[in-house]
Amino acid sequence: MAHIVMGVGTSHTPMLTLGSDEWVHRAADDLKNQKLNQSDGTWISYDALLAKVGPAYADQVTPEALAALGDQCQQALDRLKAEIAAAAPDLILIVGDDQSELFGPENMPVLSVYYGEEVVTHDRWGDDSYPDWARRMGRAYAMDAVYSFPGAPAFALELIEGLVERGIDVSTAARVDDRACSATRRTCSRPRRWTM
């Protein structure tokens, strides 16, 4: 039986993978975005949002304010790393949303448990056509090349059984095709083991 020794919640924002001086690149994407997702599930463009609420956060996006926030983010990541190391878990269960990294619109389950021997990432941002900051972001996500992480199939299968026994209709996957390679018709190299 598994024993939970720690629980962590964190954003998966690229702002945690880039220095605050590079956040402007992500902001530029939002300025052009025609489909920003609001908390009520509706979509709005940045221009329409700005017209609706005004520059409410202008004082919070100065270089000095962003640098202070960036320092806080890095301190929090350092603390998280230390606490995980101190807890020394046998495995880490990651719960997250999928933004077309593993699944596509033709097969997007509401809830899926992965039980493969290894998790293979996709080379989404490793291409030289992306700017340096995007490739650095991709590296932090292990998506600048094809990487392999060890899975925990025995635990995952127990989790699946337990969910089904409790009446939860869960999808399962033992392998996910490399969408990035097939979509671009590139030949993807053999996965590299991820190293810190």
Please list the pLDDT of the chain residue by residue as tens digits (196 residues).
678 999 999 887 888 999 999 998 888 887 888 888 888 989 999 999 889 989 888 888 899 999 999 999 999 999 999 999 999 999 999 998 887 777 888 888 999 999 999 988 888 888 889 999 999 999 988 888 888 899 999 999 999 999 999 999 999 999 877 554 444 433 444 555 555 4
Pair 99, 188 in one domain: yes
48 and 119 both lie in a single domain: no
Single out the residue in 88, 111, 129 at which a domain terminates.
88
Structural domain includes residue 154: yes
Confidence (pTM): 0.76
Measured at the alpha carbon of residue 96, what is the angle toward residues 91 and 102, in degrees to the nearest 5? 95
Residue 3 falls inside a structural domain: no
Structural domain including 184 reads: 90-196
Which tokens belong to 14? 């690229």
84 shares a domain with 95? no
Residues 105 and 154 in one domain: yes
Q: Are strands 147-150 and 192-193 parallel, antiparallel or unpaired?
A: parallel
**Best CA proximity match to 1, nearest among 166, 150, 155:** 155
Last residue of a domain, one of 88, 123, 149: 88
Regarding whether 37 and 95 lie in a shared domain, the answer is no
Listed residues 88, 117, 145: the one ending a domain: 88
User: How many domains does the chain fold into?
Assistant: 2
